Structure 1
Amino acid sequence: MTLRPLLLLAAALPTLAAAQPRPYIEVGSANFRPLPIAVAAFRAEPGAEAAAAELTEVLRGDLRLSGLFDVLDPKGFLADPGEGLTAPTIRFARWADVGADGLAKAVVRRAGGELSVDFHLFEVRAGREVLAQAPRGAVEAGRSLAHQLADAVVQYYTREPGVFRTRILAMRHAGAGGRELVAFDVDGQRPEVLYRDPGLILLPSWRPDGKAVLFTSYRGGRPELWTLDLATRRTQRLVALGDLTTGGVYSPDGRHVAFTASVNGNSDVWVVNADGSDPRRLTSDPAIDGSPTWSPDGKRLCFVSNRAGNPHLYLMNADGSGQRRLTFQGTYNQTPHWSPRGDFIAFTGRDERKVFDVFLVAPETGHIQRVTQDQGRTNEEPTWAPNGRLLAFTSDRQGRPQLVVSNVSGDRQTLVTAPGAALGTPAWGPFPQ
């Protein structure tokens, strides 16, 4: 008599678990909270121990850096480290006891010079597998495989692409006054020198397809716009107008470049075709206008002007019409960068203590919110991840300026590069194609 209700309940449990709704992280909503996730140490078959340890740590780091997850401390795990990688072999109650909503497990194999990963993501409360991945690559590509897994986890929970296979450019000081154009992984690792110049180069900007970089170079004795083809590493001068041509940025469709040029002693915003032809001036105020950034639909530009006395942000249509002031707070606002989502423009502002910090302004309302405060004297030059969910900027909070990755609210900030040569003018790259 007493066994029948228990048997019926036991039979119903798989159905109830399967019926549970899929968890979804509502990024930016009032109800947002980081999702607790456990990343179990990846198991390794013989010869893959070092790779498994690296993959585990890189995945944990990426998920922390995303600002979306509360990555649980493995010291508190209660489950048997030897349990399996399939739902029937996992004691989900043990993972629920440590507060995990998600559980990531994997086994790593090595065959000659190749790694393969058998990766599984589980929903702990439902007791079910929800994602399986099997990336493979060269042994030295372990970090890339981990970034691929992080992107897959982010996409599962948010339905938006992850950004951990993108890269962040920055200018790095080299010896004897030279500069290097360096590409970093999002977590600040694997710096790759793309270009070296004995002189001054700055303000890199990605072409939307990720195959070329636009930058400002002084190699001709004055600031000019140059391009770097990433496949051939060849450079080519694109635009040189007047006494100064700087700060070029591609339009979202890659067909135009907006930039700052000083012609006949007046600094203005200009636009040119992507091949350098047909330059057109968009502003003509006698003040200093510059630092353009495109809206994600390519229909508007934000720029900096001191036409009201101090540098502030202004908006205009892509043909130069409809110019209007956007910021009225602060006395020195600069380096705007429009979010790919269109909801914010990040910029550098100087406060009353002469400290530079990162701020956001809503282009439609002018509402401003602060991202950094009391974290060094200079936080500047913000750049957006291609999904508009993270920012990168330089900060001197631990000495020479280094890269910081932050969520939009600023409550999760991570210094991702180690103290060393100063970094400047970062640019977050597009999704890989």
Structure 2
Amino acid sequence: MTTMNKLNQVILSATLALAASGASAQMRIEISGVGSNQIPVAVAGFADENIAPQQISAIIKADLERSGAFKLIDAGVITSMSNIDYGTWKAKGADALVVGTVAKSAAGDYEVRYKLFDTVKQSELSQLNVSRAPQFTRLTAHNIADDVYLKLTGIRGAFSTRIAYVKEYDKRHYELLVADADGDGEQMALRSNEPIISPSWSPDGTKVAYVSFEQKKPVVYVQNLITRARTVIANEKGSNSSPVWAQTGNKLAVSLSKDGHTQIYTVNADGGNLKRVSNSAGIDSEANFAPDGSIYFMSDRSGGPQIYRMNGDGGEAKRVTFTGNYNISPRVSADGKTLAYISRRDGNYQLYVMDLASGQEQRLSDSTDDQYPSFAPNGKYIMYATQAGGRKSLAVVSVDGRVKQRLTTQAGNIKEPTWGPFMQ
């Protein structure tokens, strides 16, 4: 890994420019639980990293720790990336070692070099050399953590991805916010005195669709995070809600009540070619595209809200959930194997996952008022909104339920999360 993601830099630059509109304080993360087979990793302090705006090794450690997949071993500061004494680190219990250096160029950029070593096989696993402007220091650290995660687990890391969510103040002020996956670097994309709901990332990570009530009714917009331009996608008679992108990025599914009761439609990303794809006497809403192009959605056609599946262009719908009388908010993992949803059991609204091949389900949360699940792009974690102590916050749980995080903020209620894609 010798080059960095240019699109991620462009989007980060664009959202950083939004800071002038007013950014809120970053979120605090509480972590509980660990993975079933933690990999012991020593992360050394990077040589001369104190000259950078943020301590790169500390960000890497925080990323790896909150994943629950690693057991971190203190390594102090290592000034040289050559002549590694593998035996010493293996004796300390580390199966892998992360080392690096930081230097400042004459142009003011920070040059970061990193290497990952396998202490068991006594070999170098990966390296990175990158020069970046100061504002991209955190992104560089997240990219290194992604590389460590990939090389040691075989699964692509999601630390450098972005999330979007809504923050509400006193039911009078609303903000659509974009942040790093760890909640840091929070920047405002939209502020309104009317509710903002249902944000959804485009597959390329450059746009967010959402519903705004600024016209005193729900209208679906798409906002370009780079140019800040907004496009009205659905402003039909009645309710316009629940936008979600198809994986192709050229269309969205929306829920409209223009014909009397809420049904699912597809619409081009420019707002054209509106087409109805669901057809029931009940309410069909909360569509989500699976990787194969099919649509999972919520419908009350059987009497209560349940989750169904249909082809992307409509047709016969097949019921997916059968346990419980209230199942909503379907979200499908990137590999198409797992369904996340909210189920009401014994009066509690909780996060569940289902193995779509076997139909076996598992409850992942212990709270009582969960909403809006969203998969990480690697399918290993789910972010959702929850409530405790009268405050709304975000939570993250691993798909096996072992690792849990709570993201809280000092001011306002945070809700309606959506996890952004990998930046190609």
Range of TM-score over shorter length: 0.7 to 0.9
- 8 Å CA contact 2:395–2:407 kept in 1: the answer is yes
Is it true that 1:34 corresponds to 2:38 in the alignment? yes
State the partner residue of 1:362: 355
- Which amino acid is the alignment partner of residue 123 of structure 1? D
Question: TM-score normalized by structure 2?
Answer: 0.86
CA distance in 2, matches of 1:288, 1:176: 27
2: distance between equivalents of 1:293 and 1:281? 15
C-alpha distance in 2, partners of 1:279/1:81?
A: 59
Seen in structure 2, the aligned counterparts of structure 1 residues 170 and 53 have a Cα distance that, compared at 3 Å, is: closer
Secondary structure in structure 1 of the residue aligned to 2:55: helix
In structure 2, what is the equivalent of residue 381 of structure 1? 372
Residue matched to 1:295: 290
Aligned pair partner of 2:197 in 165, 187, 202: 202
Q: Which structure has the higher relative contact order (CA within 8 Å, separation 6+)? A: 2
Residues 1:251 and 2:252 are matched in the alignment = no
How far apart are 1:213 and its partner, in Å?
Answer: 1.2
What residue in structure 2 maps to residue 3 of structure 1? Answer: none
Q: State the distance in 1 between where 2:61 and 2:222 align.
A: 36
Q: 1:82 to 1:33 in 2, by over 3 A?
A: closer
What is the alpha-carbon distance in structure 1 between the residues aligned to residue 407 and residue 61 of structure 2? 14
1:324 pairs with 318, 325, 333, which one? 318
The CA deviation string for residues 187-207 of structure 1, in whole angstroms up to 9 with x for no partner, is: 111101111122111101111
Contact 1:52/1:107 (8 A) holds in 2: no
For the residues of structure 1 that align with 2:53 and 2:197, how far apart are their CA atoms?
38
Aligned partner of 1:349 among 331, 343, 348: 343
Aligned-partner SS, 2:111? strand
Distance 2:101 2:270 in 1: 49
Picking from 332, 339, 342, the partner of 1:338 is 332
Gaps of 5+ in 2: 1-34
Give the Å deviation of 1:95.
1.7
1:148 aligns with 2:143: yes
Q: CA deviation at 1:94?
A: 2.6
What is the count of residue pairs matched by the alignment? 389
CA shift for structure 1 position 122: 0.7
> What SS class does the counterpart of residue 358 from structure 1 fall into?
strand
Q: Give 1:421's match in structure 2, choosing from 407, 412, 417.
A: 412
Q: CA deviation at 1:223?
A: 1.1
Q: Does the aligned pair in 2 maintain the 1:188–1:403 contact within 8 Å?
A: no
Change (3 A) 1:42 1:244: same
Describe the SS at the equivalent of 2:391.
coil
Q: Secondary structure at the match of 1:57?
A: helix
Distance 1:416 1:37 in 2: 25
Deviation of 1:81 after TM superposition, in Å, equals: 4.7
The 5 Å alignment of 1:12-23 reads: none
> Percentage identity across aligned positions?
29
Q: Please state how far the C-alpha of 1:146 moved relative to its aligned partner.
A: 0.3
Q: Would you tell me which structure has more strand in proportion to its own residues? A: 2
Is the 2:36–2:402 contact (alpha carbons within 8 Å) kept by the matching residues of 1? no
Q: What corresponds to 1:242 in structure 2?
A: 237
User: Out of 148, 152, 167, which is 1:172 matched to?
Assistant: 167
Find the counterpart in structure 2 of residue 54 from structure 1.
55
Take 2:304 and 2:410, find their aligned partners in 1: how far apart are those partners? 33
Distance verdict in 2 for CA 1:361–1:419, change over 3 Å: farther
Q: Please tell me the root mean square deviation across aligned C-alpha atoms, in Å.
A: 2.1
> Match of 2:302?
308
CA distance in 2 between counterparts of 1:126 and 1:285 reads 60
Whether the 8 Å CA contact 2:98–2:115 is kept in 1: the answer is yes
Choose from 177, 181, 196 the match for 1:182: 177
Is contact 1:400–1:420 with CA below 8 Å preserved after alignment?
A: no
| Post-superposition offset of 1:97 | 2.4
Decide whether the 8 Å contact of 2:46 with 2:77 is kept in 1. Answer: no
Equivalences for residues 46-125 of structure 1 within 5 A: 48-49=49-50, 51=52, 54-72=55-73, 74=74, 81=77, 84-86=80-82, 88=83, 90-111=84-105, 113-125=108-120
**Conserved 8 A contact 1:271-1:281:** yes
Partner of 1:202, secondary structure, is: strand
Cα distance, 1:176–1:395 mapped onto 2, change above 3 Å: closer
Q: Aligned runs of 1:260-279 on 2, under 5 Å?
A: 260-279=255-274
- Give 1:308 shift: 1.9
Distance change (3 Å), C-alpha of 1:229 and 1:52:
closer
Gap regions ≥5 residues in structure 1: 1-30
